[in-house]
Amino acid sequence: MKNHGDEIREKERQWKDETVSRALKKYPYLKESPSRFFTPLDRGENYDFLEKVGFPGEYPFTAGTYPFDPTAGLSRLAAKVPAGSAHTRAALYSGYGAPEDTRDYYRNLIQKGGRQGPNLAMDLPTQCGYDSDNPLVEGEVGKVGVSIDTLRDLEIIYEPYQGDLNLDRIASNFTINAPAIYLMAMYAALAEKRNIPLNKLRATPQNDILKEYVARGTYIFPPDPAMRLFRDTLIFLNKQMPNVNITSIGGYHIREAGANRKQDLAYSMAIAIAYLREGVSAGLDIDEFAPRFTFNAFGGSMEFLQEIAFQRAARRMYARILKENFGAKDPRSMIIRQPITAHIGPSDTTIQRPLNNLTRAVIGAVAGALSGGTGAPFPPYDEPLGLGWSLEAQQLMQDAGRIITCEARLLDVEDPFAGSYCMEYLTNEIEGEALDELDKVQQMGGAVAAIESGYMQKQVAGSAYEHQKKVAAGDVQVVGVNCFTGENELEVETTRLVPHPYDPDKRSRAEQLQIASLKEVKQARDNREVKRLLMELEQKARKPDEALAPHLVACAKAYVSIQEVCDVFRDVFGEYDPPSIL
Amino acid sequence: MEKTIRVLVSKIGLDGHDRGAKVIAYGLRDAGFEVIFMGVRQTPERIVNTAVQEDVKVIGLSILSGAHIPLVKKLMEKLKLAGCEDVVVLVGGVIPESDKPALKEMGVSEVFTSGTHIHQVVDAIRRHVKV
């Protein structure tokens, strides 16, 4: 074999000196070959298939989290299922206005045959721990998601979920981070009031607070106490709600905030490690809770081959961290569970000639299908045109995914690039870069320390700026934006005819309605009990080892509002003040 | 020599998507402006107070949450009360085409959406600020 390697090396040198050089003479504007060719040498010394790749669904999971994708086999079956009744367990990310509006939206989905639990988008006041009646949040109630102030609001939203769609029969998703502990307490309270045992509940809270400091920004408290809330949530869910996922980690947000691939992977891993350590330091065995860590998604980009490599590297890196650093034995602790693999980022879409975004999304979806995921041509092409997607754009997105599965049959082979000289090289490359950056963060004291010092934030903002400068200079080409913009190009416009699924009248009335509802709740509840519960909460919050979640379930049942809880924490923990980025 | 123009860059409201705001802050800094970056979750009051204290000529607001109409309205009222009507207000973010006229009517000088180059913002500042 060694002789063969030397032979290839010699042959490669000859190829460059003779064949490539000769070709370059014909193109005087090229100083070197604009493309690369990979050989067995690029896979690294002593490439060991079982060590580097292995079989799909087996350690180190490079080839895939699962042995196969069931949607590949279901494609014919799926085609027979009536529209609107997808077989995923949670609905699309949704929610708007007052709880009544979101309830009606879900009721309508159920009437059309939907069987999925809510996948709740919450408005920014809820995410930031403010009540709807706070003057600070005027104009934001019910925007970007539904408003949740008290348990009453969750009760309203879940009205359509009864009988065979009761809480023990559905799975819910909550995009909530800083006050996640209270949202989960509310969900527990809702279940207990319906006499449903907590261990029957299935849900996924996003509960990924650390990335909020790096991207997205819905933090409330400083990272340290935020991690205490994370630990409390982890312990509570682990013990009381063992079928509820603990976190859904999102490198996606960090990448969309400007991070490059290396930063996305390194920081996602650093954040996961910080969360895992909370469970370990609480005295839990890693295999008791790690299987319920999930990933929301990593980021994506238009760079097709590199994004496939990224997914392979991410799976291998996480598996090795769990096995080697945390001593996990259960393979379920070592896998990255995520709804999609490679994809493009919404920040890759352009407002110019927006139908091109469908082409872009399809390229991302093909990368997804070839990297152990379903082909998800996300986002819909009209993503940058305004808030909310048209139904046409969503239909085309779905169809593109179906075409990838049913016509192109891209899910028929697992990890088709396994063993490819190029792909193994790119996988090693991104893994190596991310490991170096992860080491750097760990030497600073881990994710929390790297966030407190502002390191991660500055790195990500710096990458965002570098990217923007490259776009401005034309070093990164974006079709229709910084190239191919001449007079002879046709600026293809699109119409968005189908009305938005959310009722605009309801949207405009939501804030007033919700403020009135909250007022009613605050009058009708036992306010002496509320005061007592809040005082007790403060005492418990001041003791770092006190478990807060059980008490918060009692608060939820007494209709204590989200701001009342968060204000106690604000008093005890303080509020986060971000370091300067300039 | 031209006096350095002071620009305040801020998010307004609860929306935390600050990539655009940060990139613009870096870009304006490198274009020679003096940038005061306020970051996320700022109120109209705090922005106007800082604008007065720092004697800025330009306020750049970044909003991606859809709450731009009420938030900008509030800010413009506060600016007027503070006697700062000559401060140039620029808005960037996810702003539907149909909302642009309303923002302009409130006194916003320019609205920038995705795909904007930093030099366009630089040009707008030079055009609107009378030094």
Query: How confident is residue B1, by pLDDT bands cut at 50, 70 and 90?
Result: very low
Residue carrying structure tokens 């229709």? A480
Rounded to a whole number of angstroms, the distance between the first and last alpha carbons of chain A is 54
Show the domain range for B101: 6-128
Averaged pLDDT, A528-537: 98
Q: pLDDT tens for residues A92-101?
A: 788 989 999 9
Give CA torsion, residues A241, A122, A506, A166, to 10 deg. -10
Whether A114 is covered by a domain: the verdict is: yes
Task: Tell me, yes or no, if the pTM score tops 0.90.
Answer: yes
Q: Identify the bridge partners of residue A173 per DSSP, sorted by sequence position.
A: A119, A204
Residue of A nearest to B96 (CA): A386
Residue carrying structure tokens 């065995």? A285
Judge if A204 and A123 occupy the same domain.
yes
CATH of the domain at A303: 3.20.20.240
Beta-carbon count within 10 A of A68 CB: 13
Which tokens hold the place of A36?
A: 């690369």
Mean pLDDT of all residues belonging to chain A: 93
Please state the ipTM of this predicted complex.
0.92
CA distances for A524 relative to A132, A319, A581, B86, angstroms: 17, 51, 46, 49
Rounded CA separation A72/A404 (Å): 10
**Exposure letters A537-560 (e unless 16+ CB within 10 A, then b):** beebbeeeeeebbebbbebbbbbb
The answer to whether B19 contacts A124, with C-beta atoms less than 8 Å apart, is no
String of DSSP letters for A331-361: HHHH----S--S---GGG--SSSTTHHHHHH
Judge if A33 and A105 occupy the same domain.
no
Judge if A9 and A69 occupy the same domain.
no
> Among A465, A484, A506, which residue terminates a domain?
A506
Whether A398 is covered by a domain: the verdict is: yes
Q: What is the pLDDT of residue A238?
A: 97
Whether A185 is covered by a domain: the verdict is: yes
Give the largest Cα separation in chain B, rounded: 41
Contact with chain A for residue B32, Cβ under 8 A? no
Judge if A74 and A6 occupy the same domain.
no
Q: What is the pLDDT of residue A349?
A: 95
Judge if A86 and A19 occupy the same domain.
no
Whether B118 is covered by a domain: the verdict is: yes
Q: pLDDT tens for residues A286-328?
A: 999 999 999 999 999 999 999 999 999 999 999 999 999 999 9
Contact with chain A for residue B128, Cβ under 8 A? no
Q: What is the pLDDT of residue B49?
A: 96
User: Is pLDDT at A422 greater than 90 in this prediction?
Assistant: yes
Whether B123 is covered by a domain: the verdict is: yes
Closest approach of chain A CAs to the CA of B112, in angstroms? 12
Judge if A118 and A64 occupy the same domain.
yes
Judge if A83 and A19 occupy the same domain.
no
Judge if A365 and A237 occupy the same domain.
yes
Averaged pLDDT, A476-482: 94
Contact with chain B for residue A477, Cβ under 8 A? no
Q: pLDDT tens for residues A368-378?
A: 999 999 888 99
Judge if A413 and A323 occupy the same domain.
yes
Q: What is the pLDDT of residue A412?
A: 92
Total domain count for chain A? Answer: 2
User: Is pLDDT at A88 greater than 60 in this prediction?
Assistant: no
Most B CBs within 10 Å, among A209, A468, A470, A507, to test the B interface:
A468
The answer to whether B18 contacts A218, with C-beta atoms less than 8 Å apart, is no
Rounded CA separation A97/A26 (Å): 64
Q: What is the pLDDT of residue A298?
A: 97
Residue of A nearest to B35 (CA): A582
Q: What is the pLDDT of residue A510?
A: 95
Judge if A296 and A156 occupy the same domain.
yes
Chain A contact set for B40 (CB, 8 A) = 217, 578
Whether B1 is covered by a domain: the verdict is: no
Whether B27 is covered by a domain: the verdict is: yes
Contact with chain B for residue A256, Cβ under 8 A? yes
Whether B43 is covered by a domain: the verdict is: yes
Which range (A85-94, A98-107, A316-325, B15-24) has the least confidence?
Answer: A85-94
Chain A contact set for B27 (CB, 8 A) = 465, 468-469
Contact A5, A47 (CB under 8 A): no
Strand order across the A202-205 sheet: A119-120, A171-174, A202-205
Residue of A nearest to B99 (CA): A386
Judge if A25 and A135 occupy the same domain.
no
Judge if A371 and A303 occupy the same domain.
yes
Query: How confident is residue A77, by pLDDT bands cut at 50, 70 and 90?
Result: low
Half-sphere exposure (CA, 13 Å, Cβ side) for A324? 8
CA distances for A509 relative to A16, A97, A527, B110, angstroms: 69, 8, 28, 29
Whether B72 is covered by a domain: the verdict is: yes
User: Is pLDDT at B109 greater than 80 in this prediction?
Assistant: yes
Q: What is the pLDDT of residue A171?
A: 95
User: Is pLDDT at A475 greater than 90 in this prediction?
Assistant: yes
Show the domain range for A122: 49-453+492-506
Total domain count for chain B? Answer: 1
Q: What is the pLDDT of residue A87?
A: 43
Most A CBs within 10 Å, among B43, B63, B114, B122, to test the A interface:
B114
Query: How confident is residue B9, by pLDDT bands cut at 50, 70 and 90?
Result: very high
Q: What is the pLDDT of residue A75?
A: 62
Q: pLDDT tens for residues B58-104?
A: 999 999 888 899 899 999 999 999 999 899 999 999 888 889 999 99
Q: pLDDT tens for residues A397-420?
A: 999 999 999 999 999 999 999 999
Q: What is the pLDDT of residue A80?
A: 58
Averaged pLDDT, A209-225: 97
Whether A157 is covered by a domain: the verdict is: yes
With pLDDT > 70 as the criterion, what percentage of chain A qualifies? 95
User: Is pLDDT at A84 greater than 60 in this prediction?
Assistant: no
CATH of the domain at B23: 3.40.50.280
The answer to whether A461 contacts B118, with C-beta atoms less than 8 Å apart, is no
The answer to whether B29 contacts A582, with C-beta atoms less than 8 Å apart, is yes
Q: What is the pLDDT of residue A504?
A: 80
Whether B84 is covered by a domain: the verdict is: yes
Strand order across the B88-93 sheet: B34-39, B6-11, B58-63, B88-93, B110-112
Q: What is the pLDDT of residue A2?
A: 54
Whether A465 is covered by a domain: the verdict is: no
A304 three-state secondary structure: helix
Whether A538 is covered by a domain: the verdict is: no
Q: Which residue has the higher pLDDT, A77 or A225?
A: A225
User: Is pLDDT at A86 greater than 50 in this prediction?
Assistant: no
Contact with chain B for residue A484, Cβ under 8 A? no
Chain B contact set for A256 (CB, 8 A) = 19
